[in-house]
Amino acid sequence: MAILFRFVLIDDISVSTSILRKTLLIKIALIVISLITALPTQANNTRLCPAQLQKEVKKVAQSPKLQASRVGVYVQTNTPNSQVLVNLDGDRYFIPASNVKLFVTAIALKTLGANYRFATRLMSHNLPNAKGELENGLWLIGSGDPSFRSETGLKSLVTQLKNKGVKRINGGIWTLTARRGEEVADSWEWSDLQEYYAAIASPFTINENSINWTVTPDTNGKPAIFTWDNPELAKDWRVQNQATTASVDSIYSLKVVRPYGQKVLIITGQIPEKSEPELGGVAIPNPETNFLDLLRQELVVQGIAISTDIAATNSVKKLPPIQDLAIAYSQPLSELIFTTNKDSNNLYAELLLRALGDRLHEITPYDSVLGGMMMISKYLQSINVPSSSVLLADGSGLSRRSLTTPKTIVQLLQSASTDRNFRKSLAIANVDGTLTNRFKNTAAQGLIQAKTGTLTGTIALSGYADPQNYHEVIFSIIINNSNLPTRELQQYIDAIALLLTRLENCE
């Protein structure tokens, strides 16, 4: 930040005038110093020696507005004999928010492999008979593919079924999964549970278990305009639109609420004319039922009849499925983690954690969530990181019970630093993902790859910085217990990250 003051002074005509002028200059200098120290340090083009980095980071961390907060920073070189450049409470526990996803994605790649794919199947006990009738029902086998969608995966499954000669299904449609455990973390905040970003991590996931909506203004005095992005998926939802359009200079007070567990949206408040559309989404309360409903709809669309004799269906003995009829694979894990990290997708992360647990379940019958956490602990121990340094309560970071240290995050990032797929999954400063609009008009573009993390009062940024005149460094910066707005907290985080891009070897 450059602050320029211009002074026009009359030549000294007495000693008292000289003293007055000096006093004035001292006061102005003190004001300038206080203004500079009250704001986060901004990177400039001057070089920064590694030995100076800790001191410069402390200046930002000790900014007046952060005095009541907790700031943790750990930075080391990404070299064979790594050198610690900054350790500011880096060994203490912090809430990492979405930095939790770093553990899930990096260890999923190590454990499941880059080519791992989720599979969604349609199975039966037997093939269709000569009339094309499938007796003893149809089974939907779910594994929790986070990318499964109606227009691609579901359509493909039913088309395959049709190509197998199935014309009618007798005996009902059933579900089956090897997944065990809770589908929602019990420590997620109540207010989050209605939102699309807290969608239920069901093995029967379709369309990310959420429905998106848009609210746009009309003309002054008229109701606000509410629309579903996909009305077909929201046919059984009820919308109570009480919102109005206000004049251009009115206060924005639009509010959209879904009572938990209900397929109801209540829209209140006002949206000023010419405002940008409000975009949002809601989590579906019962993903398994929703998946089955959509499957039945697609079967009918493609000409496959379903028996409507409920009594007959209930009397059918559920024979175990042994015959594959249709299968849809997800993208490989190497591509799924792009969405997980770059876009910070919570549902993807939660389902990847459970996939890790399913891998352990192949050996021992564990709860999928607990199993996933055990797999993470097992990997951390293999790289000499104490399991006690990571206490996870979920796979996405929505929970405030998840704890880890900045140092542990850096150790994980160092172990994954040569994994090209993992590195490509991280957002790039001022280029893509959750960093698209960060570090604008700075030298950081293309030099920082990192994962963001945000909860109310909590913010994190961890990843890699590649200074033009120094070794690549690995860093983790976390601020907890703050009452500042997220955008203001980002300025402090970014100021520290920008310091890393100025590093030069001063020896």
Amino acid 467: pLDDT: 95
* DSSP code for 154: I
DSSP 8-state assignment for residue 126 = S
Domains 50-114+349-500 and 119-182+287-333 share a fold: no
* SS3 per-residue string spanning 417-440: CCCHHHHHCCEECCCCHHHCCCCC
The CA distance from 105 to 113, in Å, is 11
Cα–Cα separations (whole angstroms), residue 43 to 51, 315, 479, 492, 495: 17, 73, 19, 11, 7
CA dist., res. 67 & res. 321, Å (int): 62
The pLDDT of residue 40: 52
Q: What's the pLDDT at 42?
A: 45
Which segments of 381-498 are extended strands (E)?
A: 390-391, 403-404, 427-428, 448-455, 458-465, 473-480
Q: State CA 242 to chain mean position distance.
A: 31
What is residue 143's predicted lDDT score, i.e. its pLDDT? 95
Q: Where are the domains of the chain?
A: 50-114+349-500, 119-182+287-333, 190-283
Q: What is the pTM of this model?
A: 0.86
Q: Phi and psi at residue 416, in whole multiples of 5°?
A: -100, 5
pLDDT for the residue numbered 192: 87
Q: Do residues 213 and 227 make contact, with C-beta atoms less than 8 angstroms apart?
A: yes
How far, in whole angstroms, is CA 420 from its chain's centroid? 20
- Supply the pLDDT for residue 177: 93
Inter-axis angle of helices 100-112 and 333-342, to 10 degrees? Answer: 180
- The per-residue b/e assignment along 242-276, b for 16 or more CB within 10 angstroms, e otherwise, is ebbbbeeeeeeebebebeeeebebbbebbbbbebe
CA distance 366 to 379: 17
Architecture of domain 50-114+349-500: 3-Layer(aba) Sandwich (3.40)
H or E stretch including 87?
Answer: strand 84-88
Nearest-angstrom CA–CA distance, 450 and 460: 10
Per-residue pLDDT tens digits for 293-344: 999 999 999 999 998 766 556 656 678 899 999 999 999 999 999 999 999 9
H/E run at residue 247: none
Cβ proximity of 68 and 483 under 8 Å: yes
Domain 119-182+287-333 -> CATH class = alpha beta
Distance, in Å, from the CA atom of 25 to the CA atom of 326, rounded to the nearest integer, reads 81
Q: Measured on CA atoms in the order 156, 210, 198, 287, is the torsion positive or negative?
A: negative
* Lookup: tokens for 65: 């507005």
**Cα–Cα distance measured from residue 70 to residue 433, given in angstroms and rounded to the nearest whole number:** 27
Which pLDDT does position 365 carry in this prediction? 62
Tens place of pLDDT for every residue, the chain, 507 residues?
333 333 332 233 333 334 334 444 444 444 444 444 444 544 445 889 999 999 999 999 999 999 999 999 999 999 999 999 999 999 999 999 999 999 999 999 999 999 999 999 999 999 999 999 999 899 999 999 999 999 999 999 999 999 999 999 999 999 999 888 889 888 998 888 888 899 999 999 999 999 999 999 999 999 999 999 888 888 889 999 999 999 999 999 999 988 877 889 999 999 999 999 999 999 988 999 999 999 999 999 999 999 876 655 665 667 889 999 999 999 999 999 999 999 999 999 999 999 999 887 665 567 899 999 999 999 999 999 998 999 999 999 999 999 999 999 999 999 999 999 999 999 999 999 999 999 998 989 899 999 999 999 999 999 999 999 999 999 999 999 999 999 999 999 999 999 999 999 987
272 contacts 278 by C-beta, under 8 angstroms: no
Residues forming beta bridges with residue 70, ordered by sequence position: 480
The secondary structure of 304-353 as a DSSP string is: -EE---HHHHHHS--PPP-EEEEEEE---HHHHHHHHHHS--HHHHHHHH
Residue 499 near residue 53 (C-beta atoms within 8 A): yes
